[in-house]
Amino acid sequence: MAEESVSIAYLGPAGTYCNEAALVFVGKLGVPDAELVPCVSFTEVFEHVDRGKCTYGVVATENALEGPVTATLDNFAFNSSAQILGVHVLDIHHCLITHPEAKREGIATVVSHAQALGQCRRFITREFPAASAVPVASTAESVKAAMADKSCAAIATRFAAGLYGAVVVDDDIEDRLGNQTSFALIGRQGAISPLSGARYKTSVALFMQQDRAGTLNMILSEFAYAGVNITMIQSRPTKQALGDYMFFLDLEGRAEEPALQTALNCLRLKLREVKVLGTYPVE
């Protein structure tokens, strides 16, 4: 019987950091013939996975400098049933990229993904104080814009510059060293991670019945009582009313382990919803 083909959706076009992360997951999955499917947004990546158009998807979850990627968190919380199957942390090194015939003194606009612009804010202000910083859908899209307009400079990867015939003017222009972005491999609801590792994490989204004093303390106490370590916690608005928030948590261990299962079951009795986003190996 022929093996089923594997496809992976990612934030395109080719040359984005998400593309690089997708190639890493291709190696981890051991599927060199996997089809990589570029999408125009993280929301479209989720839709491709939820509707079965792609086997997997790759989405950015958090950047060391700019924090959580809210589009990804909102899809996990409100729009998608996709599961996290694995994570990979990618070192981020931004380059200033232009058309081969562009002149530095002629640069009037610097374009990139909003996160990349934020990560290079000081460089842009110092080197191009009169230029406009304009966000586009992806870092690779910014290289395409630079190739179409010599007065435009892009912030993207050396990989993207090579793909589109652009030139790298400056390397490592990010404001701080140690810039990294975490990417998640996602699959359809009920999917089991095809990856393995020595340690596992479980991600959950918790929705309160109502906003009242002591709710967060109650949540933390349940995990503390069960001996479950929380490695990350952050809040997001529910988009239902001003001041109405929900919580994302990363927990050590597998969801099916007795201690973690007990804590989650206790919270299901006290909260409006406990949504398990996935159990997966960590690096």
Q: What is the pLDDT of residue 175?
A: 86
pLDDT score of 147 more than 60: yes
In terms of domains, do 77 and 183 share one? Answer: yes
pLDDT score of 14 more than 80: yes
Share of the chain above pLDDT 70, in %: 96
Average pLDDT over residues 214-224: 87
In terms of domains, do 62 and 183 share one? Answer: yes
pLDDT band for 138, please (50, 70, 90 cuts).
confident
Containing domain of residue 226, as a range? 199-282
pLDDT score of 188 more than 60: yes
Tally the C-alpha atoms within 13 A of residue 193's C-alpha that lie toward its C-beta. 23
Q: Who wins on pLDDT, 192 or 59?
A: 59
| 193 belongs to a structural domain | no
Pair 162, 122: CB distance under 8 Å = no
**Peptide bond just before 13 cis, omega within 30 deg:** yes
Q: What is the pLDDT of residue 12?
A: 84
Q: Who wins on pLDDT, 138 or 262?
A: 262
Pair 128, 107: CB distance under 8 Å = yes
Q: What is the pLDDT of residue 192?
A: 87
- DSSP assignment of 243-265, as one string? T-EEEEEEEES-TTSHHHHHHHH
In terms of domains, do 236 and 257 share one? Answer: yes
In terms of domains, do 165 and 267 share one? Answer: no
pLDDT band for 216, please (50, 70, 90 cuts).
confident
pLDDT score of 238 more than 80: no
Residue that is written with structure tokens 């303390």 in the block: 217
Closest CA to 25 of 41, 2, 45: 45
In terms of domains, do 107 and 158 share one? Answer: yes
Residue that is written with structure tokens 């002591």 in the block: 214
Q: What is the pLDDT of residue 2?
A: 40
Q: What is the pLDDT of residue 224?
A: 93
- What does the alpha-carbon distance between residue 83 and residue 208 come to, in Å, rounded to a whole number? 21
- Which of 61-75, 119-133, 185-199 has the lowest average pLDDT? 61-75
Q: 77: left (phi > 0), else alpha (psi -120 to 50), else beta?
A: alpha
Q: What is the pLDDT of residue 1?
A: 33
Give buried/exposed letters for 80-109 (b at 16+ CB in 10 A, else e): bebbbbbbbbbebebbbbbbeebeeeebeb
pLDDT, the chain, mean: 91
In terms of domains, do 239 and 271 share one? Answer: yes
pLDDT band for 229, please (50, 70, 90 cuts).
very high
Average pLDDT over residues 229-258: 86
In terms of domains, do 104 and 82 share one? Answer: no
| 212 belongs to a structural domain | yes
In terms of domains, do 108 and 71 share one? Answer: no
- Give the pLDDT confidence of 64-108 residue by residue, as tens digits: 877 888 899 999 999 999 999 999 999 888 999 999 999 999 999
Average pLDDT over residues 166-179: 90
In terms of domains, do 220 and 268 share one? Answer: yes
Average pLDDT over residues 25-30: 94
Q: What is the pLDDT of residue 243?
A: 63
In terms of domains, do 67 and 116 share one? Answer: no
Residue that is written with structure tokens 């089809």 in the block: 35
Question: What is the number of structural domains in the chain?
Answer: 3
In terms of domains, do 121 and 87 share one? Answer: no
pLDDT score of 230 more than 80: yes
pLDDT band for 3, please (50, 70, 90 cuts).
low
- What does the alpha-carbon distance between residue 116 and residue 90 come to, in Å, rounded to a whole number? 14
Could you give the angle at which helices 258-268 and 215-226 cross, rounded to 10 degrees?
160
Q: What is the DSSP-derived secondary structure letter of residue 105? A: G
In terms of domains, do 153 and 36 share one? Answer: no
- What does the alpha-carbon distance between residue 136 and residue 179 come to, in Å, rounded to a whole number? 20
pLDDT band for 221, please (50, 70, 90 cuts).
very high
Q: What is the pLDDT of residue 239?
A: 72
Q: 23: part of which helix (H) or strand (E)?
A: helix 17-29
